[in-house]
Amino acid sequence: MPFACVPGCFYLHENDAINRIEAIAAGPKSPGHFVRGAGCFAWREKGIIVNVIPMAAGFGARIEDIDLTGLDAGARETLRVALLEHGLLVVPAQALDPQAQIAASEVFGALETFPPTPSQIPGYPQIFRVASRAADGHTEVGRYWHSDGSFRTVPTPISVWHLEVQPEQGGDTWFVDLQAAYRSLPEQIKAQVRDLQTMHRNGVLHPLVIPHPRTGVAGLYLNIGLTAGIVGMGREESAALIAAIDSHFSREGAVYRHQWQAGDFVVADNFRIAHRATPLSPSQRRILNRTTVRGDGAFWDGARVAGSRLAAG
């Protein structure tokens, strides 16, 4: 169906989402329909338009003018494509009850479940509540650079947050691109970290530099708060390297600071993006409902994604 093209934007039709995913895997020289990072793109099918607008941070995209409760197959696929392309999605102004949040989160894969606690939502084990007050959810969570679920042998691939209660001020969440962080390291440091492994406090090992399981692009992968050390290094040397990477994540111009607004729905690819919470006084009430895709449940696994021909290398 023909329609006017907004300057700087690209529009996906029915078969273009698969081509877009394949172009991401093959790199900027592939014969895809789009030029990487050249502007927003959108999907139109049966009157639905999904506007995907890259953010100024150099990663991440805003998804404008969409209702997550009314997605068709094309819109769902466009969101998956956008997450692979940009690593972080910000979808504003979504009025979602717990069931609707779970359904929107399942666009990106099968969800983890959590044991019940007094502050969790009864009947919805997929939702992990993060809050400024203990009566509302888990507090003092993740105030250091990390990717959710990195303590698992098979890590959590995707995290999703929906803001239920907005504070008057404060409580921003910071995000950083792990692949850009690796690319921007001096070559000498790259050579040093390339073959190292981290050990979590529970003994789980992960490579310090990990290829994305779908695109194959290398990025740093380090949980600053839960990592006990670097395999093969002494305590002081390990601590110094972790501190240096921590500082590198926070380097000037690298961080997107998300200021939560009512109804925000945010999705992060944990192999591409790390995040950290910032302090928030209990005097400021905030509730974030978080869902996470389980390690074997990401949309890019098997036939869950229409672009399942995507190569990992």
Which tens digit of pLDDT belongs to each residue from 24-62?
444 433 323 333 334 555 555 454 678 999 999 999 999
Laid out side by side, the sheet with 273-277 consists of 255-258, 173-177, 273-277
Q: Is 12 helix (H, G, I), strand (E, B) or coil?
A: strand
Tally of CB atoms within 10 A around 119 = 15
CA–CA dist 230, 232 (Å, integer): 6
**φ, ψ at 27 (rounded to 5°):** 100, 175
Percent of the chain predicted with pLDDT > 70: 81
- pLDDT higher than threshold 50 for residue 216: yes
- pLDDT higher than threshold 70 for residue 260: yes
Of 48, 53, 144, nearest to 92 by C-alpha is 53
Looking at per-residue confidence, does 9 or 1 come out higher?
9
91 strand-pairing partners: 265
Q: How confident is the model at residue 310, as a pLDDT?
A: 29
Q: How confident is the model at residue 302, as a pLDDT?
A: 59
Average of per-residue pLDDT across 123-134: 97
- pLDDT higher than threshold 60 for residue 174: yes
**φ, ψ at 191 (rounded to 5°):** -65, -35
CA–CA dist 102, 291 (Å, integer): 7
CA–CA dist 114, 124 (Å, integer): 9
104 contacts 96 by C-beta, under 8 angstroms: yes
Q: How confident is the model at residue 303, as a pLDDT?
A: 39
Side chain identity at residue 306, one-letter code: A
Averaged pLDDT score across all residues of the chain: 86
Which tens digit of pLDDT belongs to each residue from 54-77?
999 999 999 998 999 999 999 999
CA–CA dist 250, 248 (Å, integer): 5
Q: How confident is the model at residue 3, as a pLDDT?
A: 29
Contacts of 7 (CB under 8 A, 6+ apart): none
pLDDT band at 301 (very low <50, low <70, confident <90, very high): confident
Average of per-residue pLDDT across 270-287: 96
